[in-house]
């Protein structure tokens, strides 16, 4: 572990779609913020998270609004705009108290607001890039005004994404996401009954229709988990795949706790249905679905910058079968922690050969490359470099 040379104070300005806490359902960016906060706290940093009041962080919580929006995508209402302005204004106010060394952010719109607010301030900004370059509309509007001496530093989450943002000023080294591997239950072999697992937002980009095709052609049972966001294209897509689903049930709300397998999972798996949709499940529940699966299918149809699903599944010892798109080849070791394929036919073949993958290799790979400790250590190095660079600049300017 890398120990900081000084007790640095980091202010994270959280997103508001979901609260920042451990046991979330769908909330990839919020999960990353929680994990970074947890990792930095372990390293001895003073980690302060500006977030909604229903959050539960590991470091210090600085509450700006009462509750998160609880919709990962929704219409931009006047109330949400008001809450966003309050969140950013209070976050900026906290940043200007004089004890903050680094502001860490995750949203281009928020960065635009804060960057303007601290442009005359000595507080540097680190922004983790989560979306593809073409989706950062707000970033594109103001990036032209940045110069290399700007106090805004950008962190790609994969080599694939770094290449997308190759013209970005102050783009730093890639820092992959990390998870707390010890929080993921490990299995040496899938328990009966056997099934394939697919989890993610229900949308064409995630390829649930391809997963269904693979399951039908291999005669495998498929469990699909994920939320259907309030987007017209996603609703249309779900309506399309609904015709191929044999059972719809809610595995996210009925029960939690140690009896979840017996009360929720087992009755579903004891049914004679092949394609089963279980809705949105939380963090604790999905770990059990990963653990008992033969493999996790990841048939994405777009260049995903980083798929948390990949490392979560492998941490449980469950291999991944994924299309060669986006950051997948950086995360999955073909033939050792799963299979990286280029077609449906190759995915079908991989399902038949998944027994060749050793679950211990999957977990070891995540522990060695995608742990919270690794991620936090790399961010700590970046923070220290930024602070040291600023110190040198201040000295030379005198």
Q: Mind giving me the DSSP string for 315-331?
A: HTT--EEEES-TTHHHH
Query: Which letter does DSSP use for residue 261 in this model?
Result: I
394 band by pLDDT with thresholds 50, 70 and 90: very low
Query: Is 155 among the domain residues?
Result: yes
Summary mean pLDDT of the chain? 88
pLDDT tens column, 297-330: 999 999 999 999 999 999 999 999 999 999 999 9
Please check whether residues 349 and 249 belong to one and the same domain. yes
What percentage of the chain carries pLDDT values higher than 90?
65
Beta bridge partners of 127: 105, 154
Residue 3, by phi and psi: left (phi above 0), alpha (psi -120 to 50) or beta? beta
If one counts the domains in the chain, the total is: 2
Please check whether residues 112 and 160 belong to one and the same domain. yes
pLDDT, residue 117, reads: 64
Query: Is 46 among the domain residues?
Result: yes
Please check whether residues 212 and 283 belong to one and the same domain. yes
Please check whether residues 270 and 385 belong to one and the same domain. no
The CATH number for 310's domain is 3.40.50.2000
State the average pLDDT over residues 281-293: 93
pLDDT tens column, 383-392: 999 988 765 5
Q: Give the contacts of 155 (CB within 8 A, at least 6 positions apart).
A: 126, 127, 128, 129, 171, 172, 173, 174, 175, 379, 382
pLDDT, residue 389, reads: 75
pLDDT tens column, 109-118: 787 777 666 6
Residue whose C-alpha is closest to residue 286's, from 262, 268, 312: 312
Map tokens 């394609």 to a residue. Answer: 275
Please check whether residues 94 and 186 belong to one and the same domain. no
The model's pTM is 0.90
Query: Is 246 among the domain residues?
Result: yes
Domain extent for 127? 9-178+371-397
Query: Is 4 among the domain residues?
Result: no
Please check whether residues 214 and 314 belong to one and the same domain. yes
4 band by pLDDT with thresholds 50, 70 and 90: very low
Please check whether residues 260 and 305 belong to one and the same domain. yes
pLDDT tens column, 186-217: 977 666 668 999 999 999 999 999 999 999 99
């Amino acid at each position: 572990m890398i120990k900081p040379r000084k007790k640095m104070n980091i202010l994270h300005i959280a997103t508001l779609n979901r609260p920042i806490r451990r046991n979330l359902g769908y909330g990839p960016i919020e999960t990353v913020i929680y994990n970074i906060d947890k990792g930095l706290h372990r390293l001895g940093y003073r980690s302060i998270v500006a977030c909604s009041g229903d959050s539960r962080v590991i470091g210090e919580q600085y509450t700006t609004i009462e509750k998160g929006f609880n919709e990962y995508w929704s219409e931009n209402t006047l109330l949400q705009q008001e809450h966003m302005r309050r969140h950013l204004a209070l976050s900026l106010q906290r940043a200007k108290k004089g004890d903050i060394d680094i502001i860490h952010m995750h949203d281009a719109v928020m960065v635009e607001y804060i960057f303007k607010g601290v442009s005359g301030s000595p507080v540097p900004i680190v922004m983790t890039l989560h979306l593809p370059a073409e989706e950062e509309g707000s970033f594109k509007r103001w990036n032209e005004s940045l110069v290399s001496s700007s106090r805004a530093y950008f962190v790609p989450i994969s080599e694939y994404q770094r290449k997308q943002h190759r013209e970005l000023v102050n783009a730093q080294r890639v820092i992959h996401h990390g998870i707390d591997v010890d929080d993921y239950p490990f299995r040496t072999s899938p328990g009966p009954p056997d099934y394939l697992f697919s989890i993610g937002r229900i949308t064409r980009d995630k390829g649930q229709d391809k997963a269904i095709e693979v399951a039908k052609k291999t005669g495998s049972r498929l469990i699909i988990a994920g939320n259907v966001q309030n987007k017209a294209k996603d609703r249309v897509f779900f309506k399309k795949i609904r015709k191929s689903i044999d059972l719809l049930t809610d595995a996210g709300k009925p029960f939690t706790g140690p009896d979840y397998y017996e009360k929720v999972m087992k009755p579903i798996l004891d049914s004679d249905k092949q394609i089963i949709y279980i809705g949105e499940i939380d963090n604790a529940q999905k770990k059990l679905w990963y653990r008992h699966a033969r493999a996790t299918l990841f048939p994405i149809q777009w260049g995903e910058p980083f798929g948390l699903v990949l490392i979560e599944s492998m941490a449980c010892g469950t291999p991944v079968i994924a299309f060669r798109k986006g950051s997948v080849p950086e995360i999955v070791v073909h033939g050792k922690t799963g299979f990286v394929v280029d077609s449906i036919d190759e995915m079908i073949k991989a399902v038949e050969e998944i027994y060749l993958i050793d679950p211990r290799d999957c977990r070891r790979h995540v522990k060695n490359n995608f742990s919270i400790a690794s991620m936090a250590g790399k961010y700590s190095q970046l923070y220290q470099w930024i602070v040291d660079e600023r110190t040198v600049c201040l000295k030379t300017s005198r």
